[in-house]
Amino acid sequence: MKMLYIYNNVKTMWWVRVLLVLITYHSSLITISAQDRRPQNKPYIDLRPLHFGISVGFHLQDIEMQNVGPQLVTMEDGTQTTETILCEQDNWNPGFSVGVLADQRLSKHFNLRFSPTMHFGAKHLTFHHINRTDNEGRIITATQDMKNTYVSLPLDIKFAAPRWNNHRPYIMAGINPMINLTGGDQDMVRIKRYDTMLEVGLGCDFYLPFFKLIPELKFCFGLSDVLDKNHINELRDANLRAYAGSVSSAHSKMFVLTFYFE
C-alpha cells in the first residue's frame, strides 16, 4: 500500500512540473515579444460580440479511488470469506477530443465561453488481491478496461491580458457537466452516467492572417462521487462482487490540451 501511495504522488508531481514548465515557457515568449511591436493580424476580431469556432485536442484521464480495505464477501456456494482488494488506475490514459466553441465578449478582458465537446478515451483499473497469491508467491491481480465516451458542456469565464502584437495570453475557469454515453453492465466497477467537473487552465490567442489559433491546457477535477454503488447488486457473477465492493468512492480527473480555431 505504501508503494501505491508513493506511485500516485509521483504521477501528480510529474504533471505539476509539466504545468510549471509550460507557464515559464509562456512567460518567456511574452518577454521576448514585448521588445518590439509588429503589424497586427485581424486587429478588430476581439471587438465582435460573439465568436464561433471548432476545437480538436487530446486528453489524459484518471480516476481517484477510495478503497474500503477488508470486506466480508459471500461467494456463489454461500460461503463467506474476508477479502482485501486494492483498486487503482495505474496510469493516465490518453484520448481524443473534438468540439465546437461559442465565445461571448463581456468586456475588454472578460469572455464567457460555451464549448460542447466529445471526449473519446478509457480508464484502466487494476485490482490487487492482497490476501491471495499465485504459485510463485506474487499478489494476484485483475484488470478492467473502462472505455468511455463523454459529452461535456463546459461553461467558462476567460480573463485575457491586453493584446501585444499577435498574441494574447489568458487564464480561465469554469464548471463542466459531463455525460458518459458508455458503460458495461457486468463490469467489475461501473461509474455513473453524469458527472460535474471544476476546470481551470491557461492558454494564448495567436492571431494569424486568416484565423485565430488558441492552444489551451486545462485541468478538470470531478466534484461528485461517480461510483455506482448499486452496481454490486446487479452483477450476475457473485465472484465479481468482491471487486465491486472494494471501492467506496471515485472522483474523475482529466488533463485536456485543446486547439481552438476561430
User: Residue 221's pLDDT is what?
Assistant: 93
Domain assignment present for residue 9? The answer is: no
**Domain annotation covers residue 4:** no
What pLDDT is attached to residue 72? 66
Q: What is the CATH number of the domain that holds 73?
A: 2.40.160
Give the Cβ contact number of residue 247 at 10 Å.
Answer: 23
DSSP one-letter string for the chain = -HHHHHHHHHHHHHHHHHHHHHHHHHHHHHHHHTTS--PPSSTTGGGSSEEEEEEEEEEEEEEEEEE--EEEEE-TTS-EEEEEEEEEE-SPEEEEEEEEEEEEE-SSSEEEEE--EEEEEEEEEEEEEEEEE-TTSPEEEEEEEEEEEEEE--EEEEEEPPPBTTEEEEEEEEEEEEEE----TT-SS-B-SEEEEEEEEEEEEEE-SSSEEEEEEEEEEE-S--B-GGGGGG-S-GGGHHHHTTEEEEEEEEEEEEEEE-
Q: Is residue 239 part of a domain?
A: yes
Q: What is the total count of domains within the chain? A: 1
232 in a domain, yes or no?
yes
Whose grid coordinates read 450476475? 236
Q: Is residue 171 part of a domain?
A: yes
| pLDDT, position 6 | 43
Q: How far apart, in whole angstroms, are the C-alpha atoms of residue 157 and residue 61?
A: 23
Q: What is the pLDDT of residue 16?
A: 53
Determine the pLDDT at residue 66: 87
Per-block mean pLDDT, blocks of 10 residues, the chain (262 long): 44 53 53 60 85 94 84 65 78 90 94 96 85 76 86 96 92 95 76 93 94 95 89 77 83 94 92
Question: What DSSP assignment string belongs to 10-64?
Answer: HHHHHHHHHHHHHHHHHHHHHHHHTTS--PPSSTTGGGSSEEEEEEEEEEEEEEE
Q: Among 262, 242, 218, which residue's Cα sits nearest to residue 86?
A: 242
| Residue 59 within a domain | yes
> Range of 209's domain?
47-261
CA 198 from centre of chain: 10
Is 54 a member of any domain? yes
**Does residue 96 sit within a domain?**
yes
* Confidence at residue 178, expressed as pLDDT on a 0 to 100 scale: 94
